[in-house]
Amino acid sequence: MEIGLGIDARFALSRDDQLALAREAAALGYRSLWTPIGNTREPFDICATWNEASGLETGIAVAPLSSWSMDDLVSVAKETVERCRGRFTLGIGAGHLSAAPIRAMRDAIDALRPRLPGVRIYLGALGPQMLHLAGSRYDGAALNWCTAEQVAWSRGRVVKAARAAGRDPNDVRIHEYVRVCVDRDEDAARIAFAKMVLTYALARPGTDKTKGYRGHFARMGFDEALLSLERRRDSGTPEDELARDFPLELLRRVGYWGHPDGARDAFLSLANGLDIAIVRAVPARSNDVDAVRLTMRACAPTV
Question: In this predicted structure, which of 119-123, 170-174, 175-179, 202-206 has the lowest mean pLDDT?
Answer: 202-206
Rounded-to-integer distance, Cα 93 and Cα 71, Å: 16
pLDDT of residue 303: 55
Q: What pTM, to 2 d.p., does this model score?
A: 0.95
pLDDT in tens, 86-126: 999 999 999 887 778 999 999 999 999 999 999 999 999 99
Give the start-end residues of each E strand in 199-274. Answer: 255-258
Q: Residues 269-295: what's their mean pLDDT?
A: 96
Residue 177 predicted with pLDDT over 60: yes
Share of the chain above pLDDT 70, in %: 99
Q: How confident is the model at residue 30 (pLDDT cuts 50, 70, 90)?
A: very high
CATH topology of domain 2-184+259-298: TIM Barrel (3.20.20)
Provide the pLDDT confidence category of residue 66 given band limits of 50, 70 and 90.
confident
Residue 38 has pLDDT above 90, yes or no: no
For residues 183 and 261, the answer to whether their CB atoms sit within 8 Å is no
How far from the centroid of its chain's Cα atoms is residue 298's Cα? 19
| Residue-level pLDDT at 107 | 96
Model confidence at 209, pLDDT cuts 50, 70, 90, reads very high
* Overall average pLDDT of the 186-198 stretch: 96
More confident: 38 or 245:
245
Residue 156 has what pLDDT?
97
Where does the chain show beta strands of DSSP type E? 2-6, 32-35, 57-64, 88-93, 120-124, 140-144, 173-182, 255-258, 276-281
3-state DSSP call for residue 234? helix
Tens of pLDDT, residues 142-157 = 999 999 999 999 999 9
Bigger pLDDT: 166 or 94? Answer: 166
pLDDT value of residue 204: 92
End-to-end CA distance of the chain: 16
pLDDT at 98: 73
